[in-house]
Structure 1
Amino acid sequence: MPGGPGVEELAAELGRWVLLRVRLLFRFLPVGSLVVESLPMGAESTVTVLEGACRCVLSRVGEDPAPGPSHPLGMRLRSGGTLFVPGDHTYRLSEIHIPTTLLELRLEGPD
């Protein structure tokens, strides 16, 4: 359950394993949500679709991703799908046709 008991402890334990601080971010996207973009944080992250589906386009910070299904770093993420986002990239989510829940894990510098 997003944000349920033990979630913060799991993130802290993962951080101990990878020697980084792990921050959790849940996103709840209703049907027809406008484009959702990540902010450039300089930290690597993963984005996992817990429920639902959306289109995701990955781009370098400062580059505008080309619209449409032909973008080389664009894909449809469905339940269980995970995207790795390098620290010098952002992502853009669109085409939300069913309610979608995402989990982002930001891997920041050590504590």
Structure 2
Amino acid sequence: MQKIPRPARPAPGVDATVPGGPGTGELAAELGRRLHLRVRPFFRFLSPDSPVVESEPNGAESTVTVLEGACRCVLSRACEEPAPGPSHPLGMRLRSGGTLFVPQVHTYRLSDIHVPTTLLRLDLEGPG
């Protein structure tokens, strides 16, 4: 298994999103060539007991992969509130190695973060 190089984790208690570095840039460029899309990588670092994190619609399809840690993810249409509770049909617990595909006009909500969690988000945009 190949390790994806990532920036240093921010100070404890700080949640941060940062652009991907050289290693993820190469991954994104190769994926973009194969899919004929522009792919932009971002890392998201979440602290234990982080508040609920909601994505903003960005007009692109995305993948969200948990590199380490775990969180609950709920997918919903951008204009709709997700149904509450763990029984939501588009909700799941993602652990290290798990990936969520986020179609256009959809958002995701991350919660139940109990350990330091690192995510890699790849935004899949129109031809680059």
TM-score bracket for this pair, using the shorter chain length: over 0.9
Q: Which of 62, 70, 74 does residue 45 from structure 1 map onto?
A: 62
The one-letter code matched in structure 2 to 1:82 is: T
Per-residue deviation, 1:5: 3.8
1 CA distance for matches of 2:124 and 2:28? Answer: 10
Provide the TM-score with structure 2 as the length reference.
Answer: 0.83
Q: What CA distance in whole angstroms lies between the structure 1 residues aligned with 2:53 and 2:109?
A: 6
Structure 1 counterpart of 2:100: 83
User: 1:24-103 maps to which residues of 2 (within 5 A)?
Assistant: 24-103=41-120
Report the RMSD for the aligned CA atoms in angstroms. 1.1
Paired residue secondary structure (1:23): strand
Flag structure 2 segments of 5+ consecutive residues without an equivalent. Answer: 7-19
AA paired with 2:61? E
Structure of higher RCO (CA pairs closer than 8 Å, 6+ residues apart)? 1
Q: What CA distance in whole angstroms lies between the structure 2 residues aligned with 1:6 and 1:96?
A: 26
TM-score by length of 1: 0.95
Superposed CA deviations along residues 45-77 of structure 1, whole A, max 9, x for unmatched, are 100000000000000011011221011111000
Query: Secondary structure at 1:27's aligned position in 2?
Result: strand
Give SS of 2:59's match. coil
Measured at CA, do residues 35 and 87 of structure 1 come closer, stay the same or move farther in structure 2, by a change above 3 Å? same
Distance 2:23 2:112 in 1: 32
2:123 is paired with a residue whose SS is strand
Q: Unpaired runs of 5+ in structure 1?
A: none
The letter for the 1-side match of 2:77 is: R
Query: Equivalent residue of 2:32, what SS?
Result: helix
Three-state SS of the structure 2 residue aligned to 1:17 is helix
> How many residues in Structure 1 have an aligned counterpart in Structure 2?
111
Q: Distance in 2 between matches of 1:35 and 1:46?
A: 19
The alpha-carbon deviation at position 6 of structure 1 amounts to 2.5
Aligned partner of 1:69: which letter? P
